Structure 1
Amino acid sequence: MADIDDKTAAEAFRRLVSHLQMRDDAQNVDLMGLAGFCRNCLADWVSEASDGALDRQAARHAVYGMPYEDWKARQPEATAEQLARMDASLALNEKLRSQAG
Structure 2
Amino acid sequence: MDTDRQTELDAAVLRRLIAHFDERKDVQNIELMILAGFCRNCLSKWYLEAARERGVDMDLDDARERIYGMPYSEWKSRYQAQATPEQLAKFNESQQD
Flag structure 1 segments of 5+ consecutive residues without an equivalent.
93-101
- Who is 1:10 aligned against? 11
Query: TM-score, normalized by length of structure 1?
Result: 0.82
Structure 1 residue runs of 4 or more that deviate by more than 3 Å after TM superposition = none
Relative contact order: is structure 1 or structure 2 higher (C-alpha 8 Å, sep ≥ 6)? Answer: 1
| 67-76 vs 6-15, greater mean Cα deviation | 67-76
Measure, in 2, the Cα distance between the counterparts of 1:91 and 1:53.
35
Q: What letter is aligned with 1:88?
A: E
- Write out aligned runs for 1:40-59 (5 A): 40-51=41-52, 52-59=56-63
- Who is 1:65 aligned against? 69
Give 1:82 shift: 0.8
Q: What letter is aligned with 2:61?
A: Q
Q: Is the 8 A contact 1:34 1:85 kept in 2?
A: no
Q: What letter is aligned with 2:88?
A: L
Query: TM-score, normalized by length of structure 2?
Result: 0.85
Aligned residues: 90
C-alpha RMSD over aligned residues: 1.6
- Who is 1:81 aligned against? 86
Flag structure 2 segments of 5+ consecutive residues without an equivalent.
none
- Who is 1:28 aligned against? 29
